[in-house]
Amino acid sequence: MSQAIAWLATAPFLPVAAILLAENLLLFLGALAGGAWLRQRFAHRPVSLAPDELAGGEAAAAASTVLLNVVVTFVGLWAWRAGVIRFRTDVGIWAWLDVLVLLLVMDFLMYWLHRMAHHPLVFPWLHRLHHDFDRPRPLTLFVLHPLENLSFGFLWLAVIAVYPTSWLGMSVYLALNLLFGTLGHVGVEPFPDRWARTPVLRQIGSSSFHARHHQDLGGNFGFYTLLWDRLFGTLAPGYEAGFGRLPDA
Ligand SMILES: [Zn+2]
Ligand SMILES: [Zn+2]
């Protein structure tokens, strides 16, 4: 890992751009493949109706999201080289605590960004594109307005500029971010029903949680946890009773 970090610190523009593009493409394809596997494996537990046929605009929006993610990663790399973003190299308990801190802080900030995106003055031109798909599929995770995608990306860079996380903490957080994002759009519930009733686990986001947001735009704005929705009174009514079921079933 230290060799990769040393390479990233000094490597010229083109090879770095190629690596970042390949990395983002692999993550994108990994999310689609993992999501397709989950849809098949848990087909008996649908939480959304089967998605409509793939539209051309959907694929184009997803492609633009992947490219913009490369841009955000590139800006992050530049900020790191300039000393604006710093990373620690420890791998002990504090590095693992970073994961918890990043999840909670980002969840809180993204909760509010998401709520603002639902404001009537903002929603029609910014967030409606994502909500055009009330029957999400794994690809829907990437169907975002470019400005919406960039605002999440730059929020993330701002957080790690303020909070000097470890490489380990950042990597695990980013992996979980992709995992939760995919889970929220697979349309099936892999977690058992008791998930929504078990202490601690019931505070963690699920497929049902975000699937419900695609049906009912008035609640479930969080991403990784239900904490902020519970605290600010926006958890969709009947979330626990409807866990693992189609919204109108
Ligand atoms: Zn939304
Ligand atoms: Zn969504």
- pLDDT of the residue at 2: 82
- pLDDT of the residue at 1: 74
Sign of CA dihedral 189, 194, 197, 201: negative
Tell me which ligand sits closest to the C-alpha of residue 127.
1
Ligand 2 midpoint to CA 12 (Å): 36
Tell me which ligand sits closest to the C-alpha of residue 117.
1
Q: Is 238 inside any structural domain? A: no
Among 92, 74, 88, 107, smallest CA distance to 173 is for 107
- pLDDT of the residue at 167: 96
Ligand 1 midpoint to CA 47 (Å): 17
Q: Is 78 inside any structural domain? A: yes
Tell me which ligand sits closest to the C-alpha of residue 115.
1
- pLDDT of the residue at 110: 97
Residues 6 or more apart whose CB falls under 8 angstroms from that of 183 comprise 38, 190, 205, 206, 207, 210
Ligand 2 midpoint to CA 198 (Å): 25
Ligand 1 midpoint to CA 213 (Å): 7
Ligand 2 midpoint to CA 99 (Å): 23
Ligand 2 midpoint to CA 220 (Å): 10
pTM of the model as a whole: 0.94
The domain total for the chain is 1
Ligand 2 midpoint to CA 146 (Å): 15
Ligand 2 midpoint to CA 96 (Å): 28
Q: Is 244 inside any structural domain? A: no
pLDDT in tens, the chain (249 residues): 788 889 999 999 899 999 999 999 999 999 999 999 999 999 999 999 999 888 888 999 999 999 999 999 999 999 999 999 999 999 999 999 999 999 999 999 999 999 999 999 999 999 999 999 889 999 999 999 999 999 999 999 999 999 999 999 999 999 999 999 999 999 999 999 999 999 999 999 999 999 999 999 999 999 999 999 999 999 999 999 999 999 765
Q: Is 236 inside any structural domain? A: no
Side chain identity, residue 84: V
Burial class of residue 156, CB neighbours in 10 A (0-12, 13-18, 19+) = buried
Ligand 2 midpoint to CA 216 (Å): 11
Q: Is 122 inside any structural domain? A: yes
Among 165, 61, 56, 173, smallest CA distance to 110 is for 173
Q: Is 248 inside any structural domain? A: no
- pLDDT of the residue at 47: 96
Ligand 1 midpoint to CA 232 (Å): 16
Among 245, 236, 205, 230, smallest CA distance to 218 is for 236
Helix axes 146-162, 93-117, angle to 10 degrees: 140
Q: What angle do CA 225, 242, 247 make, to 5 degrees?
A: 105
Tell me which ligand sits closest to the C-alpha of residue 113.
1
- pLDDT of the residue at 214: 94
Q: Is 246 inside any structural domain? A: no
Full residue range of the structural domain in which residue 139 is found: 2-231
Q: Is 240 inside any structural domain? A: no
Among 51, 62, 25, 24, smallest CA distance to 186 is for 51
